[in-house]
Structure 1
Amino acid sequence: MEHFSFLQEITIVFILSSFVIFLFNKMKLPSILGFIISGLLAGPYGFKLVSEVEQVNLISEIGIILLLFTIGLEFSIKRLNKIKDIFIYGGSLQVFGTIILTFAAAYFILGFPVKLSLVISFIISLSSTAIVLKIFQEQGETQTPHGNISVGILIFQDITVVIMLLLIPYMSAGAQADFAGIIYALLKSALIILGFFLVARKIVPKLIYEVLKLQNNELFLIFSLSICFIIAFIANKAGLSLAFGAFLAGIIISESEYSHHVFENIMPFKEVFVSFFFISIGMLLNINFFLQRPFVIILLALLIMFFKCIIVILGMRIIKIPLKAAFLAGISLSQIGEFSFLLTRFAYENGILSDAIFQYLISSTIITMMLSILLIKEMHAVVGWLDRFVSFDALEKGERKSASSLKNHVIIIGYGISGKNLVKSCKTFNIPYVIIEFNPKTVRYYSIKEENIFFGDASQEHVLKEANIEEAKLVSLAISDPVATRRTVYKIREIAPSIDIIARTRFYQEVNGLRSLGADYVVAEEYEASIRIFNIVLNKYLISGDDIDKFEKLLRKNSYQAFGDYSETDTFHDLLNNIPEYEIQTLSLKNLPSFVGKTFEDLQLIRRFDILVLAVKKGDELIANPLADRVLESGDQLVVFGRSDGIKKLFGEQKKK
């Protein structure tokens, strides 16, 4: 009957959560906050709808394990290697900086004993992996600069939890510190995890392959969960947390080609169990204790969040992280984390914390979590508001290149694969360009190679003006942060109403939003990949190239026309398709040496070849509708419109000369 009673309570929690989250969605509030409120209402300090709080905590721990497992699946050893500086230096500065500041406040200002002050500083130094990564996943920000910073610091925190748990028993009354034992335990844990990690990376992908060959989805799901929990259990036995072990399991599988399949199968289970974690947090808040001293607890929570944010910003600036990315990471990591509950409970059981301090820490932790959820959701708006008063130092000294002499140029924002290919095209056809990149290492590397690149956040007005946007012909925007993409498009359109904006996005459903903000052309990776796929498929079935082109054109027209990207270009191509004997070409005088020194009147191109000269390109200058008496020079290029046979005839006569 006890099991039936617990099932009834879980049903009540689901119903209550559904109702609360429905209301929160109507009010446009985060669902995570709704889960916490549901836990508060259902828990022992609310309406007491749930008595089996320990079982809820057990389910919530499974949620944390699955959350960290999926985060690991999205990572790779290569990505971890890229953020190693943030992990080592940034993590150290954040954790130890917070410990030192909190210890000083507790010991010198509040007058707490040394051991108690140290334990409190341990608890406050940690941030919430679950909250930060959950919101980043929802908002598509795990791959952004501030996402990488947050992940690197959170991983460092998760490792330091092991040291903190080993130290706490030695801080209880009458305990003697055994530093040799602590070092031995840490070394043993590190060796076990390293050895198992190296072995598992070789074995696990092969096992997954053997399971996949059986083509049994149920078996694959059970096997994937087994891998997650086995590695988490081994990590726990080595002294690390179950959640960190699950993260390692995800990284191990991420190195294989099956990681996406595992991710898709785990996701539905993760969402259900993670919701229980946030519900369990709400159940911990003693509402009576909070209501007796709400202003003190809220003030304490705000002070903690403020100083944790400042420490992250200062730490990141020390290792030369851009101010905006540091500020966003500071907001993201300003709360106290879920592992702090573990440390708080452990310290309480060891007699280090009194009842009152225990409740203050629990209440402050939950309030920081609730406030940070709202802040993280709105942090880009906060940055935009602050930028009115404080420049975010988007241009680094010594890495600024002047674009003031450029005209009719391309501004390339983001120097990834898209940016690099566009630069190659610009170099090939002598098109002037300037690159804006937010990664300081990338800027430094390519600056040494004398690339026309400078550091900056392209959503800032002064950065765009540094790129001489008023004189530019178009902007190509290809960055991974969807929020930054939207802000940048809006800012570009505000500064330069007539410039052409080409924006890249990951998902097709984001096209309309970017168009409404002012983008002229939006390239959706998801959609373009689908076009490429059906091209390959139709080619395999020996469908003619003309039919494939027509079908592709029809799809593009039906899909992009709603967003305004297709109409003008489509109409022009329709015109050429209806008169297929005509075409537009650019003719270089390198291939027409007999034209040098002559005028258009001398050449009589319309009469002799049925060719109309639309423009002359001379270096960076484009001269439309050139005069008949213009003398052509070596290096000129002619943009012409004419009959295909006429252009062939022109080159035929040139060869005879």
Structure 2
Amino acid sequence: MENIPLLRDLIILLAASIPISIICRKLNIPAIVGFLITGVIIGPDSLALIHEKDSVNVLSEIGVIFLLFTIGLEISLERFARIKRFLVIGGGLQILLTNLAIILIAKSFGFTVRESVFFGFFISLSSTAIVLKSYMDKAEIHTPHAHIATGILLFQDFCVVPMLLLIPSLGTAEAFSFAKIFKTMLISGAAITLIIGATYFLIPIGLAQVVKFKDREIFTVFVILLCLGTAWLTNKVGLSLAIGGFIAGLILSKSDYSHQIVSEILPLKDIFISVFFISIGMLVKIHFMQEMLLPILLITLAVILIKFVFGSVTVLLLKYPLRIALITGIGLAQVGEFSFLLLKFGENYRIISPENYQYLLSIALLTMLFAPFLIRWTPSVLARFSPLKEIAPSEPEYDTEKLTCNLSDHVIIIGYGVNGKNLAKVLKETGIKYYILELNASIVSQAKKNGEPIFYGDATRTELLEKLGIRCSRVIVFAISDPSAVRRGVWAARKLNPGIYILVRTRYLVEIEELHKLGANQVIPEEFETSIEIFSRVLQRFHIPNNIIETEIKIIRKEGYKMLRGLSLEPYNLTEIQKALQLSLTETFLVDEKSPAAGKNMVELDLRNRTGVTIIAVVRDGKAYTNPQKDFVISNGDVLVLLGSHKQLNDAMKLLEEQNDQE
């Protein structure tokens, strides 16, 4: 049999990555880091298991094309609009401030302008995969700091493309000049515009024809052809392959088939991207890390500190409190996966020396290793410094000083999202006094224009709660998605007013017991209230009477959602449900012309013998005929009043609806 070295190398790559990725998962370290470590272990400076390095690099290039392709597909103007403030202002500030800081520091150490600019590009990017996964694992994806970080990360991802376009200018032998960069951007922009213009009309036409065949294999092959074909075309006009993948994704992003395209390409992208990160790890020189361990660690700490500081400053400039700023800043304090892509380009265009390449590679790897742990520990560390004064800018119009003397017997609403708005609307209509505390300055500004009694601030600050009159308030409602802020806010509210009724909305059931211990009177888990609504609709479909459904819901809530959490209900509550379901109940059924009951008398229908249900009355034209006789003929439009157990009623309904279902 013919020997295929590349196949052997691929088997080694994938086989080695699986156990390492499993270990990383157990330690809550992202898979990307696992792939990088795999590359380090099997690379030429360690076990040296890979022989066809050039072929592996080709596969990694394809992975980069698919990665940029999916980024182009996922770019949505609607998504940008929802977080435009975080994305444009926050992302722009973070990139600008970090780049300026790195360039100035690098220049002060004697690096050239082109090297300094490249270092700025490399370090300014953060890892979308690590940050968002860490927030999801902690159930914090809907928190303010997660929303801000998402906007900044999206902006960073978008900046990758112009950075890739600029790198060839940095790598030229000519003297560095911004005029040269501008000229390169202009030429690249013109080439991209021509390619987009040519493919914008051709691709949708071809895709529409392919879809008509309704063949998944043809569809997948066509999409891969579009992706790789556009990449090849851009490469021919002097741009990178990755830019071509991005353009293809961008063109298809508005297609009706974009979600299907993502689902088809995702497995391929994941495989090739894993090869890309493994190939990057293979470039790490172990002996270099051992010899330069101290400077590498010092520079790594400096990079984390710089990114943390300027990430936090960015959030403060968006007028968020210090606590949110610090949590967001530490979330962005690592080097991102796209930095490895820039590093590869920097090496190809000889912007950086082999020694600096190893420094950057080692630093990036270490920051990514530290990131999940820093993100996990920061909120609890900050919680120990509750006396820390907030330094976020406060606006005079949001000052709560005047409220202190005038508040009593009112409701405090923490958060002005959907739940907060609905509660405020109901309280206003019923004449109950309320005040709102919101952390988003733009929401506060808009709500104030609408006449809402809303104030800017963080619910974890006891001085703010006191100014809102918490000591004489009757109820406080937490309707925010930040678990850490909710816990601290509940504790502070109970400490300031032992008699206040604390109502908390939480997204996750695991929060219930801890929030109760901290002082909450009632905790409403959002996901299980949704599940209650779902099961009640299902029970209604089986004709379980509303009073029984309500009984079950009350029992579940009374027992703290134990049934839905997989815990045992108290025995008397189980008995209560069973007894209720065995009772004789009533139900009504409207007879239409297609029903098997229409035109039949009581004997012909024989509902009692067939199901056990008794027809105790028939309502016709507003008049009730009780205990209908054997010869009573049922007509279209009659309403049958049925009596039986819930199982009997369910059987009767099936029988009476049988004809309708067949139709």
Same fold (TM over 0.5): yes
- Counterpart CA distance in 1 for 2:547 and 2:445 is 47
CA distance in 2, matches of 1:434, 1:255: 45
The 3 A distance-change label for structure 1 pair 400 and 54 is: farther
Hey, what does 2:355 align to over in structure 1? Answer: 356
Question: Letter of the aligned partner of 1:378 in structure 2?
Answer: W
Matched, 1:169 2:168: no
Q: What residue in structure 2 maps to residue 371 of structure 1?
A: 370
8 Å contact kept, 2:115–2:351 = yes
> For residue 455 of structure 2, what is the aligned residue in structure 1?
454
Separation in structure 1 between the aligned mates of residue 529 and residue 452 of structure 2, nearest angstrom: 29
Match of 2:612 in 1: none
Q: Which residue identity is paired with 1:406?
A: L
Q: Which residue of 1 aligns with 2:343?
A: 344
Question: 1:146·1:325 contact (CA, 8 Å) conserved in 2?
Answer: no
Is the 1:74–1:254 Cα contact (8 Å) retained in structure 2? no
Q: Distance in 2 between matches of 1:204 and 1:318?
A: 47
Return the letter of the residue paired with 1:455: Y
Q: CA deviation at 1:288?
A: 0.8
SS at the partner of 1:434? strand
Q: Tell me the equivalent position of 1:96.
A: 96
Question: Is residue 326 from structure 1 mapped to residue 328 from structure 2 by the alignment?
Answer: no
Cα distance in 1 for partners of 2:136, 2:54 equals: 28
Report the Cα offset of residue 408 of structure 1: 3.5
Map Cα deviations across residues 163-187 of structure 1 (whole Å, 9 max, x no partner). Answer: 4224223355799974564243343
> How far 1:560 sits from its partner (Å)?
0.7
Could you tell me which amino acid in structure 2 is paired with residue 121 of structure 1?
G
Q: In structure 1, what is the Cα distance between the partners aligned to 2:331 and 2:98?
A: 15
Looking at structure 1, the residues matched to 453 and 173 of structure 2 have their Cα atoms a distance apart, in angstroms, of 57
The offset of 1:79, in angstroms, is: 3.0
1:462-518 Cα deviation digits (max 9, x unpaired): 443443333333332222345544554455556556544333333456555655655
Distance 1:417 1:210, change over 3 A: farther
Deviation for aligned residue 1:357: 2.3
Partner of residue 147, structure 1:
149
- The residue number in structure 2 matching 1:602 is none
* 1:87 matched residue in structure 2: 87
The residue that corresponds to 2:640 in the other structure is none
Shift in Å, 1:230: 7.8
Match in the other structure for 1:521: 522
Residue of structure 1 in register with 2:589 after alignment: none
Q: Tell me the SS of whatever aligns to 1:476.
A: strand
Shift of 1:397: 4.7
Q: Which residue of 2 aligns with 1:610?
A: none
Q: Aligned partner of 1:148: which letter? A: T
Q: Which moved more, 1:324-333 or 1:192-201?
A: 192-201
Give the match for residue 123 of structure 1. 122
What is the aligned partner in structure 2 of residue 655 from structure 1?
none
Deviates more, 1:51-60 or 1:474-483: 51-60
Cα deviation digits, residues 370-420 of structure 1 (max 9, x gap): 233432333323433455545354855542335533333322222111111
Change (3 A) 1:357 1:235: same
Task: Summarize the Cα distance change of 1:339–1:158 in structure 2 as closer, same or farther, 3 Å threshold.
Answer: same
d(CA) in 2 for partners of 1:227, 1:259: 13
Map 1:151-550; keep pairs closer than 5 Å.
Answer: 151-170=153-172, 178=180, 181-188=183-190, 191=193, 242=242, 249=249, 276=275, 278-385=277-384, 387-391=386-390, 393=392, 396-402=395-401, 403-404=403-404, 405-486=406-487, 488-489=489-490, 492=493, 499-508=500-509, 511=512, 514-515=515-516, 518-540=519-541, 543-550=544-551
| Residue in 2 that maps onto 1:617 | none
RMSD, aligned CA: 4.8
Checking the alignment, whether the CA contact within 8 Å between 1:145 and 1:325 is kept in structure 2 is: no
Indicate if the aligned counterparts of 2:73 and 2:258 stay in contact, CA closer than 8 A. yes
Contact conserved, 2:410 with 2:434, CA < 8 A, in 1?
yes
Counterparts in 2 of 1:79 and 1:45: CA distance versus 1, 3 Å: same
- Preserved contact between residue 74 and residue 253 of structure 2 (Cα < 8 Å): no
- Taking the aligned partners of 1:513 and 1:68, their CA distance within structure 2 comes to 43
Q: Contact conserved, 1:73 with 1:263, CA < 8 A, in 2?
A: yes
Distance 1:270 1:515 in 2: 45
Match of 2:598 in 1: none
Change (3 A) 1:323 1:202: farther
Asked if the contact 2:165/2:185 (under 8 Å) is kept, the reply is no
Partner AA of 1:305 in structure 2: I
- Tell me the CA shift for residue 289 of structure 1: 0.8
CA distance 1:300–1:174, change in 2 (3 Å): closer
| Aligned partners of 1:98 and 1:121 also within 8 Å | yes
Give the residue type in structure 2 aligned to 1:167: S
Secondary structure of the 2:523 match is strand
Q: 1:235 to 1:115 in 2, by over 3 A?
A: closer
- Letter of the structure 1 residue corresponding to residue 93 of structure 2: L
> Could you report, residue by residue, the CA deviation over 1:572-593 in whole angstroms, capped at 9, with x for unpaired residues?
x99xx9xxxxxxxxxxxxxxxx
* Residues 140 and 3 of structure 1, relative CA distance in 2, 3 Å threshold: farther
Residues 71 and 133 in structure 1, CA contact (< 8 A), matched pair in contact too = no
Report which stretch shifted further, 32-41 or 225-234. 225-234
Q: How far apart, in 1, do the equivalents of 2:529 and 2:261 lie? A: 25
Kindly tell me: are residues 492 and 114 of structure 1, through their superposed partners in 2, closer, same or farther at Cα, counting changes over 3 Å? same
Read off the aligned partner of 1:283 and give its amino acid letter.
M
Shift of the alpha carbon at 1:427?
Answer: 1.3
SS at match of 1:523: strand
Q: For 1:400 and 1:207, how far apart are their aligned partners in 2?
A: 62
The answer to which of 350-359 and 202-211 deviates more is 202-211
Contact 2:75 2:253 in 1 (8 A): no
- CA deviation vs aligned residue, 1:429-469 (integer Å, no higher than 9, x gap): 22232212121100111123331211222234444344333
Structure 1 pair 142–207 and aligned structure 2 pair: CA distance change class (3 A): farther
Q: Distance in 2 between the 1:209 and 1:435 partners?
A: 52
The aligned amino acid for 2:156 is L
Secondary structure of the 1:560 match is coil
Q: What's the CA shift for 1:346?
A: 3.0
Q: Which letter does structure 1 place at the counterpart of 2:172?
A: Y
Amino acid at match of 2:505: R
Please state how far the C-alpha of 1:360 moved relative to its aligned partner: 2.1
- Check the 8 A contact 1:336/1:368 in 2, yes or no: yes
Unaligned runs of 5+ in 2: 581-663
SS at match of 2:477: strand
Change (3 A) 1:551 1:96: closer
Q: Distance in 2 between matches of 1:201 and 1:274?
A: 25
2-side partners of 1:526 and 1:167: how far apart?
52
Contact residue 205 and residue 253 of structure 1 kept, 8 A? no
- Deviation string, structure 1 residues 584-637 (Cα, Å, up to 9, x no partner): xxxxxxxxxxxxxxxxxxxxxxxxxxxxxxxxxxxxxxxxxxxxxxxxxxxxxx
Alpha-carbon offset, residue 8 of structure 1: 4.8
CA contact (8 A) 2:171 2:349 kept: yes
Post-superposition shift, 1:121? 3.1
From the superposition, tell whether residues 264 and 485 of structure 1 become closer, same or farther in structure 2 (CA, over 3 Å): farther
Q: Is the 8 A contact 1:71 1:247 kept in 2?
A: no
The 3-state SS of whatever aligns with 2:398 is coil
What secondary structure sits across from 1:334 in the alignment? coil
Percent identity of paired positions between Structure 1 and Structure 2: 33
Change over 3 Å in CA distance of 1:204–1:311 after alignment to 2: farther
SS of residue in 2 equivalent to 1:502: strand
Contact 1:204–1:253 under 8 Å retained in 2: no
